[in-house]
Structure 1
Amino acid sequence: MRAEVLTIPNVISGLRLLLVPIFAALLLADQDLWALGVLAVAGASDWLDGVLARRLGQWSRLGELLDPAADRLFILVTLVVLTLRDVVPLWLLVAIVGRDVLLSLVLSILTSRHLGPLPVHFAGKAGTFALLYAFPLLLLAQWEGGVGTVAGVVGWAFAWWGVGLYWLAAGIYLRQAIQELRRHRQVS
């Protein structure tokens, strides 16, 4: 892993983080079309930074932190605003944020013992991917007519899959954390 901070993928991830407050402001102002545009740019940049990191060999610890941080912030901001606007129910916000709070506690326990972070699992990536698709579709579901209806059905399908995969990944991370803690206890 390379220690450079100012890599092309890191700059792209940093710019994506800067889009979060713009996205939130647009959603709060009921500027849904512009918000969807910002979300599309953020999604494309998420894909692009990963491709460039692999092709250019520009992996860094900062990049490993920035990329998921941007994803989590987009998910959190989107969920909070969509909940405030009554687009999604409160239970969805609680289910997703609760999982992230649980894993933050697990990570803090591991960090306090100089362990971790845990390797990212495919189920977690797939869950994040599904949720990042679900939210713009659920926003589009507010539109009248066929587009809104189809977007609602597909959006909720992605949301359910995302929540399921998100919690499946949480179970996998918890198992990994327990194994790491046991291994650490045996060595100490």
Structure 2
Amino acid sequence: MADISGRRARPDWQTWPNLLTLVRFVLIPVYVGLVVAGHPGWGLVSLVGLGVTDWADGFIARRFHQESALGKALDPVADRLSIVAIVLSLVLVGLLPWVVVAVVVVVDLVLVAMSSALFRGSPDLDVTWTGKIRSALLFVGLPVLLFSSTSVAEHLTWVRVVALVCIVLGTVGHVLAGVQYAAAMVRKRRGDAVPAR
């Protein structure tokens, strides 16, 4: 399809932010493999890559108006998979208790089930401030906890304490954000069900 000037129009999905999101999907198993294999330092490097691509795809999408329907659908999936993968890897190497990954996974599964039942897909809801703070706490606490297991910080006990505090608060925030998101889905579904007058 061509635009007014006669040039071939770029498909909606063909954007730099979407490419960066795909890079994030590739980095997730790379990160898990490195951590489980006993390379926390390299795992930390791949985690930084995850964080940078996460920030960059959002910035580029907003700055250069490259938002797309595919990007809106994939970005939250990449965020949730990143959190689950990071938490699970730290559980597998004994840095976190299983209860943390259980809480994160259960909340996400409930939201996915509600989204599928009520909307048969994404409900297209805005991210809440609780969700943003939750993500910030987890994306700070989890890497710091991984850093605490490296040879550089293994004797700095306060680093692990700070990380665990952020993770506990982030996990509580994950539950609260999940409740808010579920309530928003119910409200939107009821609103869509009300016939226009």
TM-score by length of 2: 0.86
How far apart are 1:54 and its partner, in Å?
Answer: 0.8
Equivalent residue, structure 1, for 2:61: 53
- Find the aligned partners of 1:115 and 1:48 in 2 and give their Cα distance: 23
User: C-alpha separation between the residues in 1 aligned to 2:123 and 2:86?
Assistant: 28
| Among 39, 51, 54, the residue aligned to 2:47 | 39
Question: Contact 1:19/1:42 (CA < 8 Å) preserved in 2?
Answer: yes
Counterpart AA for 2:170:
G
Name 1:5's counterpart in structure 2. Answer: 13
Question: How far apart in 2 are the matches of 1:98 and 1:153?
Answer: 25
Matched-pair contact (CA < 8 Å) for 1:124–1:166:
yes
Judging by fraction of residues, say which structure has more helix: 1
Aligned residues: 184
Which residue matches 2:125? 118
| Contact 2:21–2:75 (Cα < 8 Å) also in 1 | yes
- Cα distance in structure 1, aligned partners of 2:50 and 2:117: 31
Please give the secondary structure, in 1, of the residue aligned with 2:169. helix
* Structure 1 counterpart of 2:110: 102
- CA offsets 1:88-136 (integer angstroms, 9 cap, x no match): 0011111111111111111112223x88232222211221221122111
- Percent of pairs identical after alignment? 31
Query: Which runs of structure 2 are paired with 1:12-27 in the superposition (5 Å)?
Result: 12-27=20-35
Deviation per residue, 1:118-165 (Å, 9 max, x gap): 22222112212211221111122234212xx23212211211221122
- Distance (Å, rounded) in 1 between the aligned partners of 2:122 and 2:54: 27
Which of 141, 149, 157 pairs up with 2:148?
Answer: 141
Query: C-alpha offsets along residues 49-77 of structure 1, whole Å, 9 cap, x if unaligned?
Result: 11111110110111112222222112111
Instruction: Specify the SS of the correspondent of 1:187.
Output: coil
Q: Equivalent of 1:132, from 124, 128, 139?
A: 139
Distance in 2 (CA, whole Å) between partners of 1:110 and 1:122 is: 23
Q: Offset of 1:22 from its aligned partner?
A: 0.9
Structure 1 unpaired stretches of 5+: none
Aligned residues of 2:17 and 2:57 also touching (Cα < 8 A): yes
Gaps of 5+ in 2: 1-9
Tell me how far apart the structure 1 counterparts of residues 179 and 11 of structure 2 sit (CA, whole Å).
Answer: 31
The CA RMSD measured in Å over matched residues stands at: 1.9
